Structure 1
Amino acid sequence: MTITAIPIASVGDLSREVLALASENRKWLFRGQTDSDWNLMPSVQRGYSAQQERYLTNEFRVRARSRHIACPQSDDYPGWLALMQHYGLPTRLLDWTYSPLIAAFFSVHPDYSAAGLGACDACVWALDARKLNESQGFEPLIFPLDASSYEPLIVPAFKNRDELGTVGVAMAIEHDPRIQLQQGAFTIHSCRTPINLMDGADTWLRKLVIDRSRVAAFFEELTALGIRKYTLFPDLSALTSELKSMHRPADEES
């Protein structure tokens, strides 16, 4: 399944496309990726086996309590999965946001580009969450990550259980200020087919592509509009990163 790419060169272009989507009276989520060729699949499905996923999740649960004061209860699998995602462990969750500007930020910020800023086309994906859920046999609604209907999607990450073979869209539980600031949501992947390659993907996905020649300018526009790293990540490491990007060494400026 090939999704038609819609070119955008500025925040104004992005706004125009988002307004067009809004006119369809559907519930859209957004995700930014620094490489437009990347498929929509979670990190744990990029080279990890099902057994390795269970090793990761269960060892994290065993070792996290001595390092984190507010761990979930042992059987709160959605809570554990969200905590793991928050701290960068490969999981079956894929991050989305209700904000197209935040998605665009992640697509053009140099900190998230492995190849370097402007080395490849970036993109902002738009996902019709209700339509994807409906196509997967769920109600055409967005429930919280800990909803009982999503349990079969989540438990195989921790136990040797059969996969449901589907993907669900869930609201993030706001256990951390970062989740609130980033207006987060997730897709839960109990299927190893990327959602952009699934049958019918063109009915629930739109792909907005930023040409590599426009990535740097797009980033500058977002910065001018106040979409900055330290506003989305309320911690000192984000503040440090942002200050370093704003104030380069004098010998680099000459």
Structure 2
Amino acid sequence: METVVIQSWEELQEELFAFSWNEDLRRFRSRFAFRGLSDADYRLETTLIRLGGPYAELERHLLRNFKKYAHTKVVERDSLWHWLSVAQHYGLPTRVLDWTYSPFIAMHFATANIEKYDKDAVIWAVNYVKAHELLPDRLRNRLMLEGANVLTVELLSESINSLAELDALAADKVAIFFEPPSIDDRIVNQYAFCSVMSDPTMVLDDWLANHTGIARKIIIPAALKWEIRDKLDQGNVNERVLFPGLDGLSRWLKRHYSPRL
């Protein structure tokens, strides 16, 4: 797996937009999903894995009870993928991992926690098109028929309708990247993207380490965090925009007016 340590704001832009030229379209259209983490030592663990204990056995119980007590109007359709998306959005431990199409939003999440400014940050960039080349034929063929690079909850619902079917999807573990439904402005503003593993116990960075040429790690040294954070704020990439509402406004103001440690 390629790891790059950047040394400046300008170099960060170059690395995040690298490989975005699409010769077929003659346009700059990146095929990377981005995820920013405030500590470069953090792994790509799902909230389900971080729950601990017999989490793989508890997954179906968590989702079943969420569906039981959640209002029926919170999902557009009664499908596994709509429920997983909504559950993840509202904080239930799931096997879903949050990503974004936007490198700037990934930069935000890499620098939002000022208590981690003594630690290097990381932005993961995963080529979801290459990842999907490893999918079973039925999913790859569905993408080809649709003329798409990205799976949606509707497309996935046509092939996989339960956690058991997801677990049994392929003999080899696979990663699926998909677009969640636009539940609210937060998902839209964050240009949200998601991934799931066919095995709920598989940490995505372990899977990526076994499949070369799919992922890049872009390390942001701690010394650069303040500059990147201030420039993002000037560019209006902040909690007030990404978390619409008074809670996002309060988080932005708290960070914005915190003294430099």
Q: What TM-score do the two structures reach when normalised by structure 2?
A: 0.81
User: Given the alignment of the two structures, is residue 145 of structure 1 paired with residue 153 of structure 2, yes or no?
Assistant: yes
Q: How does 1:58-97 map to 2 (within 5 A)?
A: 58-65=64-71, 70-72=73-75, 75-97=78-100
- The residue number in structure 2 matching 1:51 is 57
- The residue number in structure 2 matching 1:215 is 225
User: Given the alignment of the two structures, is residue 36 of structure 1 paired with residue 35 of structure 2, yes or no?
Assistant: no
- The residue number in structure 2 matching 1:236 is 246
SS in structure 2 at match of 1:5: strand
Match of 1:127, as an amino acid? V
SS in structure 2 at match of 1:31: strand
User: Given the alignment of the two structures, is residue 224 of structure 1 paired with residue 234 of structure 2, yes or no?
Assistant: yes
Please say which of residues 132-141 and 97-106 is displaced more in the overlay. Answer: 132-141
CA drift at 1:40: 2.0
| Aligned mates of 1:117, 1:79 — CA distance in 2 | 33
| Aligned mates of 1:22, 1:243 — CA distance in 2 | 34
Among all aligned residue pairs of Structure 1 and Structure 2, give the percentage whose two residues are the same amino acid: 27
CA drift at 1:129: 0.7
Q: Are the equivalent residues in 2 in contact too, given 1:170–1:185 (CA < 8 A)? A: yes
CA drift at 1:86: 0.9
- Segments ≥4 residues shifted beyond 3 Å: 23-26, 148-152, 159-163
SS in structure 2 at match of 1:12: helix
| Aligned mates of 1:44, 1:194 — CA distance in 2 | 11
CA drift at 1:41: 3.1
Q: Are the equivalent residues in 2 in contact too, given 1:102–1:182 (CA < 8 A)? A: yes
| Aligned mates of 1:43, 1:119 — CA distance in 2 | 24
CA drift at 1:193: 2.6
Q: Are the equivalent residues in 1 in contact too, given 2:80–2:157 (CA < 8 A)? A: no
User: Given the alignment of the two structures, is residue 118 of structure 1 paired with residue 117 of structure 2, yes or no?
Assistant: yes
| Aligned mates of 1:161, 1:104 — CA distance in 2 | 31
Q: Are the equivalent residues in 2 in contact too, given 1:11–1:221 (CA < 8 A)? A: no
Unaligned runs of 5+ in 1: none
Q: Give the one of 187, 190, 193 matched to 1:185.
A: 193
| Aligned mates of 2:253, 2:167 — CA distance in 1 | 47
- The residue number in structure 2 matching 1:23 is 21
CA drift at 1:4: 3.0
| Aligned mates of 1:13, 1:222 — CA distance in 2 | 15
CA drift at 1:24: 6.3
**Residues 177-200 of structure 1: CA distance to partner in whole angstroms, max 9, x if unpaired?**
111111111111222332322265
**Residues 201-228 of structure 1: CA distance to partner in whole angstroms, max 9, x if unpaired?**
3311011001122223321221122111
CA drift at 1:105: 0.4
- The residue number in structure 1 matching 2:27 is none
| Aligned mates of 1:200, 1:247 — CA distance in 2 | 43
**Residues 18-38 of structure 1: CA distance to partner in whole angstroms, max 9, x if unpaired?**
332213665111110112122
After superposition, the CA RMSD in angstroms is 2.5
**Residues 87-107 of structure 1: CA distance to partner in whole angstroms, max 9, x if unpaired?**
111111111111000001001
| Aligned mates of 1:179, 1:94 — CA distance in 2 | 13
| Aligned mates of 1:73, 1:232 — CA distance in 2 | 23
CA drift at 1:171: 1.5
Match of 1:148, as an amino acid? L
Match of 1:188, as an amino acid? V
| Aligned mates of 1:107, 1:150 — CA distance in 2 | 35
Q: What TM-score do the two structures reach when normalised by structure 1?
A: 0.83
Unaligned runs of 5+ in 2: 24-29, 144-148
